[in-house]
Amino acid sequence: MFELRLMCPEEGVEAISDALDALDALSVSVEDADAQTDAEQALFGEPGMPPPKGGWKRSRIVALFAEQTAAQDAARLLALQDFFAGSEVLGIQAVADQDWVRLTQSQFAPVEITPEFWIVPTWHEPPAQAKKVIRLDPGLAFGTGTHPTTRMCLRWIATHDVAHQRVLDYGCGSGILAIGAALHGATSVDAVDIDAAAVTATTLNADANNVRLNAGLPDQASGSYQTVLANILATPLKVLAPLLCKHVAAGGHLVLAGILERQAQELKDAYAPYCTLQVSDQEDGWILMTAQL
């Protein structure tokens, strides 16, 4: 396979990407050409919402083609288009053969939550200091511990006493938060998600970690819980405010993640009729918000 690499301004990203797709590119990716420099830009968005921008001020586009001639033809045709003005072809190069499984695995090293609590893929040995370990490999559902929102939720679980509690993980993804709660002594854990694949992944991951929990669709959540965890995104969290708060027992804790720093006030306003949210943790532009009802 061969990579066609292009440089283009932000306003040209969409048209060039669409053209590459029409020219039978196997894949098209867009990167910040200034990544890892002082000029790097962070672009945050949410599924279902318009992207904040179509690209970066200086965007690098990489298109993958099966044949070198196809990449060369695409470069030549793009150069003739009006929308290619201000862009340039950086080059075409062969993609080296790789052991893709090993490469993927190398990107998922053990993740420290606390010095004694780690997430460890099955191809790694747990660190010597780890007393609690979640064994988890990348799969069909979100949540491997590499994202700040997941780490903050697990850090909250590890530093608060959930032993003997009834816990709800709403929007469970891979089930990582539910498993973390079970490992820290929660006696009853319900993990629910609208995605059937997430329910399946949660069940398999729980079995792999020798913990017991109840995984199912959202209607399985019933009654009150001493801790309610929801690592989703700001927009659905706002919609779910009355439902989630209804499930929190008196004196219980609500723990919300998937929220950007700039969205803190939106969440406080949405939950104001039910509880008082506060920012309890923050990492890489994301925040953890909690309340005790």
Q: What is the mean pLDDT of the chain?
A: 90
Percentage of the chain beyond pLDDT 70 is 89
pTM of the model: 0.70
More confident position, 94 or 99: 94
With tokens 């790789």, the residue in question is 98
Please tell me the distance from the alpha carbon of residue 248 to that of residue 167, in angstroms, as a whole number: 9
Identity at 288, one-letter amino acid code: L
Report the chain's terminal Cα–Cα distance, integer Å. 57
Where residue 167 falls (left for φ over 0; alpha for ψ -120 to 50; beta otherwise) is: beta
Please tell me the distance from the alpha carbon of residue 188 to that of residue 122, in angstroms, as a whole number: 26
Please tell me the distance from the alpha carbon of residue 290 to that of residue 227, in angstroms, as a whole number: 10
**Average pLDDT of the segment spanning 159-182:** 96
Q: How far is CA 23 from the centre of its chain?
A: 31
> For the ranges 46-50, 91-95, 187-191, 217-221, which has the lowest average pLDDT?
46-50
Q: Which of 119, 154, 117, 121 lies closest to 137, judged by CA? A: 121
pLDDT surpassing 60 at residue 269: yes
**pLDDT value for 96:** 80
**pLDDT value for 123:** 86
State both tokens at 28. 């098209």
Q: At what angle do helices 196-208 and 176-183 cross, to 10 degrees?
A: 30
**pLDDT value for 194:** 94
pLDDT surpassing 90 at residue 69: yes
Query: Quick one: pLDDT band at residue 38, thresholds 50, 70, 90?
Result: confident
**pLDDT value for 37:** 75
**Average pLDDT of the segment spanning 30-55:** 68
pLDDT surpassing 60 at residue 293: yes
Q: Which of 17, 44, 25, 38 lies closest to 287, judged by CA? A: 44
DSSP 214-273: EEE-GGG--S-EEEEEEES-HHHHHHTHHHHHHTEEEEEEEEEEEEEGGGHHHHHHHHTT
**pLDDT value for 45:** 61
**pLDDT value for 55:** 74
pLDDT surpassing 70 at residue 49: no
**pLDDT value for 33:** 81
Q: Which of 200, 201, 266, 265 lies closest to 239, judged by CA? A: 266
- 3-class state of residue 88 by DSSP: strand
